[in-house]
Amino acid sequence: MTQAVEVTALRKEFLRRDGRRLRRRRVAALKDVSLTIERGECVAILGQNGSGKSTLVRLLSTLLLHDGGSARVFGHDVFADPRAVRRLVNRVSVEAAFFKKMSSAENLAYAARFYGMTPRETSGRIPEILERVGFPTDRRGESMENLSRGMQQKVALARALLTAPVLLLLDEPTTGLDPRSKLEVQEFIREMRRTHDATVLLCTHDLSEAELLADRIGILDRGELLCLDTPEAVKRRYRAATLEEAFLAATGRAFEEEEDDEEADDD
């Protein structure tokens, strides 16, 4: 059976300027990462800022070109056949990016058109999906700039789900949300898996969220995938009582310590 995601020795480098020197060095954001995700599975990738999580998501979203290795989504080569992959994938990232002057309904309509959904199809589907993510339907016409961060993130979830993706890429979807909104988003992700049979790749630095939602957990550190297993197996492997201890044992650093963001070339 075809796997949902099959990544083999995937490599991505960016150019970075060294201080005042004119020469630029190549910095590896992903170093020969290999992983597979089964259909319907939820895999969480843990890592600090700059560990390569967002680079992995962007590569699978066809937003970056790779420097080596391969990636396939439901059998389609991400780099040779990006259009086929785009029909299957959608994404929620930490920033709920929208046209801020437009309403949630207008933003969703715009996103849906790019996936070939006509006004007739979206006129019923948008209110339905907004209601499903717990967005008050009477605020559909309000500009996005008037909505709270939690509300905006719900619209971001609705945008991702509107196109019925079979692979959902979640890049820190609950970062910066209040506890209640965070729980609502997490519950929604679980519901998506139950009702929609979606495969989920969750990149996060929220350890409890990873443990709560994921079937398997990977630790990505400085572009290297150090392990990928069930939460219990990860803890056993590093002889740790908690995921935080496991992370510390795997990387040699506490989870809160941050790396530089390596995910774009310097100009």
101 makes contact with other proteins (CB under 8 A): yes
Contact 246, 235 (CB under 8 A): yes
What's phi and psi for 46, nearest 5 deg?
Answer: -95, 140
Contacts of other proteins in 81-100 (CB under 8 A)? 83, 86-87, 89-91, 93, 95, 97-100
In sequence order, the β-bridge partners of residue 49 are none
Q: Which of 31, 58, 72, 235 binds other proteins (CB under 8 A)?
A: 58
265 makes contact with other proteins (CB under 8 A): yes
Q: Which of 64, 73, 158, 168 binds other proteins (CB under 8 A)?
A: 64
The residue written with tokens 């046209």 in the block is 99
SS3 147: coil
Say which DSSP state 260 is in: P
222 makes contact with other proteins (CB under 8 A): no
70 makes contact with other proteins (CB under 8 A): no
51 makes contact with other proteins (CB under 8 A): no
Q: Which of 9, 28, 81, 102 binds other proteins (CB under 8 A)?
A: 102
Nearer to other proteins, 111 or 185 (CB): 111
What's phi and psi for 252, nearest 5 deg?
Answer: 80, 5
Q: Chain centroid to CA 250: how far?
A: 22
Q: Which of 4, 10, 14, 209 binds other proteins (CB under 8 A)?
A: 14
In sequence order, the β-bridge partners of residue 216 are 43
Token duo for residue 169: 């890429």
Q: Note every long-range contact of 243-247, with CB atoms under 8 Å and residues 24 or more positions apart, other chains counting.
A: 243/46, 243/207, 243/210, 243/211, 243/217, 244/207, 246/219, 247/46, 247/207, 247/219
Nearer to other proteins, 95 or 224 (CB): 95
Size of the site for other proteins (CB under 8 A): 40
80 makes contact with other proteins (CB under 8 A): no
Contacts of other proteins in 108-167 (CB under 8 A)? 109-118, 143, 159
Q: How far is the CB of 264 from other proteins (least distance, A)?
A: 4
Q: Which of 17, 63, 146, 178 binds other proteins (CB under 8 A)?
A: 63
Torsion of Cα atoms, 115 then 118 then 185 then 10, to 10°? 0
Q: Which residues bind other proteins (CB under 8 A)?
A: 14-15, 55, 58, 61-65, 83, 86-87, 89-91, 93, 95, 97-102, 106, 109-118, 143, 159, 263-265, 267
